[in-house]
Structure 1
């Protein structure tokens, strides 16, 4: 009996731990690296910005350089040297739906500065999305407020953005990160207390 409860508690703790995936934005080139992140539901993706002034905005496969209605947008994150102290984090709420994104600065998107989270390996791939971005007629900036649909961070968790990014993207990630941390702590304490019985 003890083993099955301990195994269940361990499974609960393991399922509550989410991964964070780093995407480097414009480190000496007009790219997102990696340009396709494979993330599980509950994972977060953190965009780290390099010179000079980039952004990340959610789009759709059909319109790669135009903002998706109710999608996320970091706003412009400038840096003169090295990585900016400010980052932008989104949470993956549906791992089976690809999330498409691009940089709204100047002609960056049509230069291929686009990427995806959970793009499929055939059909509408990340490479196909980037090629479509290079063929786009125009680049549009979101009308939403900078920081919408994710969380802007400046060294520490400093400002949570509100809003959601429709069916395929992210919500303000601060609450989910805190909830996951609480579940992990509670699950570990429960398992520890049980094993001491």
Structure 2
């Protein structure tokens, strides 16, 4: 009996370390998204966190490249209201509908704890947007889709133009959501829910995975010990 117990316990490292039997190590979560993003071949949607970061006054990512047929979903945090309001490069803190006669730009309206999606309809047309919550645009809370990577018309120059307005930013009355758009089109207003980035790791993957590996190891040890005892 002493020999049987020693043999069973000697199999403990094998029970915990065999990736073929017990699934191997738990994968580390992927790196965080950067300030710019392009749609990957495996995903037709880019999620933009609205109101994220240390200041809570930013779009992340803010400089986006997306082909026709893809979507961009804006995920609004629940802490404070923001908007995604289309503008022009020439007038970054004013809705496009107020600067281009007869043109209707998309506008989520001031919202929080929701999502708002636009569909890319023309990748050759840069799309510029801002938050119309008072002072936010002048503080640099703007973004672009399919803008040039540098020079005139780029995200960097658009943001600089918005910040140059600064405290002189006009207060934009909120009339609620507006569908339509130029280059990117919204077909519905904000929806309930705040999805995470498509590349984010599932919640609690590491701890629950490790716990499951431990349980599997113990169960395997008991089964192997029973098998050894039976054969001896």
| Both proteins in one fold, TM over 0.5 | yes
Distance in 1 between the 2:188 and 2:128 partners? 18
Distance in 2 between the 1:122 and 1:107 partners? 26
- For residue 128 of structure 1, what is the aligned residue in structure 2? 157
By how many angstroms is 1:26 displaced? 0.9
Which of 64, 84, 87 matches 1:37? 64
Cα deviation digits, residues 134-178 of structure 1 (max 9, x gap): 1123235267x42212xxxxxxxxxxxxxx213x2214179xxxx
- For residue 165 of structure 1, what is the aligned residue in structure 2? 181
- For residue 25 of structure 2, what is the aligned residue in structure 1? none
Q: Does 1:118 align with 2:146?
A: yes
Distance in 2 between the 1:142 and 1:172 partners? 22
Instruction: Go from structure 1 to structure 2 and tell me whether the alpha carbon gap of 1:142 and 1:60 turns closer, same or farther (over 3 Å shift).
Output: farther
Instruction: Go from structure 1 to structure 2 and tell me whether the alpha carbon gap of 1:173 and 1:146 turns closer, same or farther (over 3 Å shift).
Output: closer
Which of 41, 46, 62 matches 1:21? 46
Q: Helix, strand or coil for the counterpart of 2:73?
A: strand
- For residue 139 of structure 1, what is the aligned residue in structure 2? 170
Q: Does 1:99 align with 2:124?
A: no
Instruction: Go from structure 1 to structure 2 and tell me whether the alpha carbon gap of 1:112 and 1:24 turns closer, same or farther (over 3 Å shift).
Output: same
Give yes or no for contact 1:110–1:139 (8 Å, CA) kept in 2. Answer: no
Once superposed, what is the RMSD of the aligned Cα atoms? 2.0
* Larger gyration radius, structure 1 or structure 2: 2
Q: Helix, strand or coil for the counterpart of 1:133?
A: helix
Q: How many residues of Structure 1 are paired with residues of Structure 2 in the alignment? A: 136
Q: Helix, strand or coil for the counterpart of 1:109?
A: coil
By how many angstroms is 1:110 displaced? 0.3
Give yes or no for contact 2:117–2:186 (8 Å, CA) kept in 1. Answer: no
* TM-score normalized by the length of structure 1: 0.64
Cα deviation digits, residues 103-131 of structure 1 (max 9, x gap): 00010000000010111112211011111
Distance in 2 between the 1:141 and 1:98 partners? 23
Select between 108-117 and 21-30 the one with higher mean Cα deviation: 21-30
Distance in 1 between the 2:92 and 2:144 partners? 10
Which structure 2 residue ranges, 5 or more long, are not aligned?
1-41, 98-103, 190-232
Q: Does 1:73 align with 2:107?
A: yes
* TM-score normalized by the length of structure 2: 0.55
Give yes or no for contact 2:137–2:169 (8 Å, CA) kept in 1. Answer: no
Instruction: Go from structure 1 to structure 2 and tell me whether the alpha carbon gap of 1:171 and 1:52 turns closer, same or farther (over 3 Å shift).
Output: closer
Give yes or no for contact 1:24–1:34 (8 Å, CA) kept in 2. Answer: yes
By how many angstroms is 1:66 displaced? 0.3
